[in-house]
Amino acid sequence: MPSTETLERFIARVEDNAHPEAIEEFYAPHATMRENQSAPRVGRGTLVSNERGVMARAQSVRSQCVRPVLASGEHVAIRWIFDFHWRDGSHSHIEEVTWQRWEGEQIAEETFFYDPAQMRPVKRPA
């Protein structure tokens, strides 16, 4: 079960848009991450690499935790809003809920629940 302090540090890292760094700091070496019902990505190194790829495609990102954060034992639910401005001039507004299972002070499993239609970038007017 994560301490309140650890959970707040994790949220602050993500809100600072240090997404790959948050994975390096807060995820277990054997952690898994999945989108909706897709196959999980496995291993912290894989998760960091994937996140670096996403962030490299973004010109800017705004990450916001929508409170309250719900925590019960080893499980945590967080509602996030992400605004991505992509290098190709498009943007994505994504609202999701993440369901995490923590092992002590590290995330072991995470599933993101969101509407996949949000993932289609929208072109900005010229």
**CATH code of the domain covering residue 61:** 3.10.450.50
Q: Are the C-beta atoms of residues 94 and 114 closer than 8 Å to each other?
A: yes
Average pLDDT estimate for 99-121: 94
Could you give the 3-state DSSP secondary structure of residue 54?
A: helix
Q: What is the DSSP letter of 118?
A: G
* Structure tokens given for 19: 């997404």
Residue 93 tokens read as 């507004």
Give the model's confidence band at 119: pLDDT under 50 very low, under 70 low, under 90 confident, else very high.
confident
> Radius of gyration over alpha carbons of the chain, in Å?
14
Residues 119-123, mean pLDDT to the nearest whole number = 82
Q: Kind and range of the H or E element at 83?
A: strand 75-86
Helix axes 4-15, 19-26, angle to 10 degrees: 160
pLDDT of residue 78: 98
Each residue of 39-90: pLDDT tens digit?
999 999 999 999 999 999 999 999 999 999 999 999 999 999 999 999 999 9
Is pTM beyond 0.75 here?
yes
DSSP secondary-structure letter at 87? T
Could you list the residue range(s) of the whole structural domain that residue 29 is in? 4-123
**Number of structural domains the chain divides into:** 1
Confidence category of residue 123, pLDDT binned at 50, 70, 90: confident
